Amino acid sequence: MASDGNTLIWRLMEAGDLASVSAVAAVAHPDFPEEDAVFVNRLALYGQGAHVLENGTSIVGYAITHPWKSFDVPALNTVLPALLGYDTYYIHDIALLDAARGSGAAGRIVAILATHAAAAGFQTMSLVAVNGSSGFWQKHGFDIVNRQVLQQKLRTYSDDACFMLRQLR
The tally of domains found in the chain comes to 1
* SS3 call for 93: strand
Cβ contacts of residue 126 below 8 Å, gap of 6+? 68, 70, 71, 88, 89, 90, 91, 163, 164, 165, 166
**CATH number of the domain that 93 lies in?**
3.40.630.30
pLDDT in tens, 24-81: 999 999 989 999 999 999 999 999 999 999 998 999 999 999 999 999 998 889 999 9
pLDDT in tens, 144-165: 999 988 988 898 899 899 999 9
DSSP of 44-68: HH-GGGEEEEE-SSSEEEEEEEEEE
Cβ contacts of residue 112 below 8 Å, gap of 6+? 2, 10, 51
